[in-house]
Structure 1
Amino acid sequence: MASKSAPPRPVPRLYLATPAVDDPAPLRASLPSMLAAADVAAVLLRLKETDHRGMIACAKALAPSVQEAGAALLIDGHAELVARSGADGAHLTGIAALEDALPSLKPDRIAGVGGLATRHDSMTAGERGADYVLFGEPDASGRRPSQEAVIERLGWWAELFEPPCVAFAASLDEAQAFAAAGADFVLVSDFIWADSRGAATAIAQAQDAIRQGYEAARLAAAADAQSRP
C-alpha cells in the first residue's frame, strides 16, 4: 500500500449511521433535511433483523433519498441484500465477513470493514481489498477502545496506508479529536439521533466540530514545519 505523504488531506467527511430501522417512513421523511445540513458522504443503514424481503423493501425505500443527496447507502452486514436493494455497498465486521462478502460486492460496490482489534487485522483488511477501515466502534458487548487508543490507530494508519480510515465518534469532542488525528471520515450515530434540537442541527454541529479539529491539526502542522531549521 502506498504512503499518504503527498498533498494535504481534505477535510474529513461525515458518515451517518442510522438506528435500527424496520419502518422506513420516518427516516425517509427526515433524511433530506439532514443530508442538506452537512457534507455527508455515506449513510450506514442498520436494519432491524427480519425476513430478507422486508429488509430489502426497507433499503429500497431509503436508497433514493440518500443517493439523490449525493451520498452512498451502505447496509450494515447483510452483503447478500446489497444488489437486490439498490444499495451502494456493505459494512462488514471482521476479516472473515469481509472475505465472504467480497465476491458479491466487488468490483462495483463498496466493502468497508470494522471489528479490527489489531494492527495486523487492519493491514490484512487493506490487503484483502477493503474500501475503508473503521476504528473505535463498540464491540458486541458495547465496549470501545479509549479515545487515546483510537487516536493512535488513526495516526498510524493515515501516515502509512492508502485506503481511507473511518473513526467512530460517540460525541462532538471525539469527532473533533478524530478529525485532527487523521480520520478521512467520521462516523456518527446515537448522539445525533438523541439530540433534542433535532438530528439536522446535531449533524451540522458535528460537521463544525470536524472542521475545527481538522483546521487545528493543519495549523499545528504548519507551525511545526516553520519551526524546523
Structure 2
Amino acid sequence: MTSRPRKAEPRPRPRLYLITPPVADAAAFAGELGAALEGADVAAVLLRFAEGDERTQTNRIKTLAPAVQARDAALLSDGHARLAARAGADGANLTGIRDLIDALETLKPDRIAGCAGLETRHDAMLAAESGADYVMFGEPSDAGRPAFPAVLERIGWWAEVFELPCVGYAADADEAEALARAGADFVAVDFIWNDPRGAAAAAAEVAARLAAAEPVS
C-alpha cells in the first residue's frame, strides 16, 4: 500500500458510482440505467441482484454490461466474483477482507476487486495491502449504517494519507457533496432510483454537485 507523497498532486474531481436496486428483470431496467448513464458522468455501476440461480444472474450481467461499458463505465457485480469474471463484468465489489482475498485469484489481474464492509482503519489498510483496487466507506449493512460524521472522518483520513482510491456512500445529494469535499474519489449512490423526477435527473444533479464541490483545505 502506498502512502500519499508529501507534495502529491490534488486528487481528480470525484465521480459517480451508481448502486442499482436489486435487479430482477435486467431488460426492463436497462432503459432507466441507460438514461442515468447518458445524463451524468458515471465511473462505475454496482449491480445488485434479486434472487435467482447462477444462470439467471449470469444473464442479468450479460444484459446490462454492454450498455454500461459502452459509456466508458465499469460494471461491477455485488459479490459473485467467479460469476462476474465468466459473464463479462469488469469486476466485483466484495464485502470484508476474507471475501476479497478469496476473490483475488479469480479477478486479478484483469478485473477490478473493490472492498466494502470495512469497520476499522486497520481493516481498510489490510484491504489495500491485500490487493484491493478501492475501498468503500459508509455503505449500509445488516448492522446498520455508520454515523455520517464518522464516514466523513474516515474519507478525509484516507484521502490525505493513501493513494488508493476510496468510495464514499451517500444517502442523499447533500451527503454526496460533503463526501466530495472530504476527498472521496468516487461517491456511491442508490437513492436516485427513488427520485420522483427520475433517476436520470437525479444522477445529473448529483454529478453536477460533485463537479462543483471544492475540497476542504
TM-score range, shorter chain: over 0.9
Distance 2:12 2:192 in 1: 23
Distance 1:153 1:147 in 2: 10
Q: Which residue number in structure 2 is paired with residue 39 of structure 1?
A: 41
**3-state SS of paired residue (1:11):** coil
1 CA distance for matches of 2:189 and 2:197? 16
Name the TM-score, length of structure 1 as normaliser. 0.91
Aligned position for 2:212: 212
Hey, what's the Cα distance between the residues in 2 that align with 1:16 and 1:31?
9
1:179 partner amino acid: A
Contact 1:166 1:185 in 2 (8 A): yes
In the other structure, the counterpart of 1:192 is 192
Residue 202 of structure 1, CA deviation: 0.3
Figure out how many residues of one structure are paired with residues of the other and give that number: 215
Distance 1:130 1:110 in 2: 8
Aligned to 1:81: 83
2:130 is matched by which residue type in structure 1?
A: R
Tell me how large the CA RMSD over aligned residues is: 1.1
With the length of structure 2 as denominator, give the TM-score of the two structures: 0.96
Query: Larger % of helix: which?
Result: 1
State the partner residue of 1:54. Answer: 56
Which runs of 5 or more structure 2 residues have no equivalent in the other structure? none
Residue 95 of structure 1, aligned match among 88, 94, 97? 97
Indicate the residue corresponding to 2:148 in structure 1: 147
Distance in 2 between residues matched to 1:129 and 1:21, nearest whole Å: 29
State the identity %.
58
2:125 corresponding residue in structure 1: 123
Quote the Cα distance in structure 1 between the aligned partners of 2:108 and 2:63: 24
3-state DSSP of counterpart to 1:20 = coil
The reply on whether 1:111 has 2:113 as its aligned counterpart is yes
Unaligned runs of 5+ in 1: 222-229
CA drift at 1:32: 2.3
Q: Which moved more, 1:26-35 or 1:46-55?
A: 26-35
Answer 1 or 2: higher relative contact order, Cα 8 Å, separation at least 6. Answer: 2
Question: Contact conserved, 1:176 with 1:211, CA < 8 A, in 2?
Answer: no
Deviation, structure 1 residue 26: 1.8
1:224 aligned residue: none
**Contact 1:76-1:91 within 8 A present in 2 as well:** yes
State the alpha-carbon separation in 1 of the partners of residues 149 and 3 from structure 2.
Answer: 25
> Partner residue of 1:178?
179
Matched, 1:169 2:170: yes
